[in-house]
């Protein structure tokens, strides 16, 4: 419906301030991006389906993995096209809030996730030790839920570099926790 009104080049990436910093030709943005998102969705369906321990992951996390890309594409593609025809849309706030919501949902279900090769904090010491896996995911669930809420809040506050700090914490804190747990567990089992 909008194709004839679109400019020859469409912004498809934006910096932290919401300024366009990467463009694609009209046809590629209008048709290629949805195809790319569909391919990513097929890949995530495949990854979740072929895991031999797929039943160990929480059903809600499997559902999130299967539906995240379709839902995001239904939100992001119209926004991209409307922005291309000159409509003002707070893209940074919307994308950041969606990311925060996905982190909160993931954090809520991480503690319910049993050992598997697809979904979760997959480190050699979590995969080797069920107690490490369970404790890491229980702790990470709390960290991710709080981190996701902070990301959503930052979507409206737009504090520079806070997003990077939060994402770093979401990665580093669970890894350090799990590693320290494995060191202490190995001391007692040796």
State the pLDDT at residue 146. Answer: 97
**Tens digit of pLDDT for each residue in 15-70?**
877 788 889 999 998 898 899 989 988 888 887 777 666 666 667 767 777 788 88
Residue 178 CB neighbour total at 10 angstroms: 23
First to last CA, the chain: 67
More reliable by pLDDT, 155 or 4: 155
User: Which residues are within 8 A (CB) of 164 and not within 5 positions of it... i.e. 6 or more apart?
Assistant: none
State the pLDDT at residue 83. Answer: 87
Q: What is the pTM of this model?
A: 0.75
**Tens digit of pLDDT for each residue in 119-175?**
788 888 888 888 999 999 999 999 999 999 999 999 999 887 899 999 999 999 999
**Does 190 score more than 50 pLDDT?**
no
Domain span holding position 90: 3-189
**Cα separation of 117 and 138, whole Å?**
17
What's the structural domain count of the chain?
Answer: 1
- Buried b or exposed e, range 36-52, using 16+ CB within 10 angstroms: ebeeebeebeeebeebe
């Amino acid at each position: 419906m909008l194709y004839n009104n679109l400019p020859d080049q469409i912004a498809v990436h934006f910096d932290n301030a919401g300024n366009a910093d990467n463009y694609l030709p009209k046809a590629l943005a209008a048709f290629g991006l949805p195809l790319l998102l569909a391919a990513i969705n097929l890949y995530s369906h495949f990854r979740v389906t072929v895991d031999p321990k797929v039943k160990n992951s929480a059903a809600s996390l499997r559902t999130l993995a299967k539906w995240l890309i379709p839902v995001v594409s239904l939100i992001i593609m119209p926004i991209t096209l409307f922005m291309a025809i000159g409509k003002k849309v707070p893209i940074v706030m919307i994308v950041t809030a969606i990311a925060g919501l996905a982190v909160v949902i993931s954090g809520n279900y991480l503690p319910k996730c049993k050992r598997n090769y697809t979904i979760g904090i997959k480190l050699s010491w979590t995969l080797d030790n069920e107690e490490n896996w369970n404790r890491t995911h229980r702790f990470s669930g709390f960290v991710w839920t709080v981190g996701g809420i902070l990301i959503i809040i930052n979507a409206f506050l737009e504090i520079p570099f806070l997003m990077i700090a939060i994402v770093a914490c979401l990665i580093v804190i669970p890894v350090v926790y799990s590693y320290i747990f494995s060191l202490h567990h190995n001391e007692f089992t040796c």
